[in-house]
Amino acid sequence: RFIKDFSKIGKPLCTLLNKDQPFLFDEECMKAFLTLKNKLTTALVIVALDWSDDFELMLLIGAQINYATTEKELLAIVYALEKFRAYLIGSKVIVYTDHAAIKYLFTKVESKPRLICWVLLLQEFNLEIKDKKGSENLVADHLSRLVNEEVTCKKGEIKDEFPDEALLLVQERPWFADMANFKATGIIPEDYTWQQKKKKFRDANYYVWDDPYLFKVGADNMLRRCVAQDEAKNIL
């Protein structure tokens, strides 16, 4: 299951197991066997980081700690490309990210001077950014979820009680629920009229879905996360 095109490569071997099939291990079967054997012994395996190997580590300092998530993601790309510029310049560079909002930054006409500077730096490279779900981006997730044995957590008792106040807080749907569902799944509620569907398609151009959050492009061309009414009160 971990070898690409396993079923196609191993088809000659699987055919030998069919009912009333003569067991003839011919040259084609031997070729399939050797190919699978080679792939099994050379396939990449995801393992824990070997700290004795050389690697590049970036640490956020000063004002960088307060950057928005999208800015931190873009800063990581800028840092990596500048660090390994001698190897990457003139070559096709593909960056896989689970932060879809990064692609939007390259199309903004107006933005912060810092972001404009970064985008100008990246234009030197033959760069392509591709979306990749977090569940598929195993390498990045593994590195960001390394267990720190020095960090200890206080154990608390599990509360079985669920107060009515907590239930009342989730009775109302967020104002952006339909838009979030549409951007994530492409599904519009069936009870929408034709005019409502048309407006939804038009308004969708100003929203960006970056699982699990929905962002809206403001009048100043800045991306801001959509928040529910009760959450907005806490922010204000």
DSSP 73-128: HHHHHHHHHHHTHHHHTTSEEEEEES-THHHHHTT-SS--HHHHHHHHHHTTSEEE
Please give the DSSP secondary-structure letter assigned to residue 131: E
Tokens of 83: 């660090």
**What is the per-residue pLDDT for 161?**
62
Instruction: Over range 69-85, report the average pLDDT.
Output: 87
Query: Which pLDDT tens digit goes with each residue over 170-189?
Result: 556 777 888 888 888 788 88
Instruction: Over range 82-87, report the average pLDDT.
Output: 87
**What is the per-residue pLDDT for 39?**
83
On the CB side of 43, CA atoms within 13 Å amount to 12
Query: Which pLDDT tens digit goes with each residue over 103-143?
Result: 777 776 666 778 788 888 888 888 888 877 666 665 565 55
Q: How many CB atoms lie within 10 A of CB 201?
A: 11
**What is the per-residue pLDDT for 34?**
92
Round to whole Å and give the CA distance between 19 and 160.
57
Round to whole Å and give the CA distance between 49 and 86.
25
CB of 13 closer than 8 Å to CB of 32: yes
Min mean pLDDT across 51-60, 80-89, 141-150 is at: 141-150
Round to whole Å and give the CA distance between 178 and 187.
9
**Token match 């009229």: residue?**
193
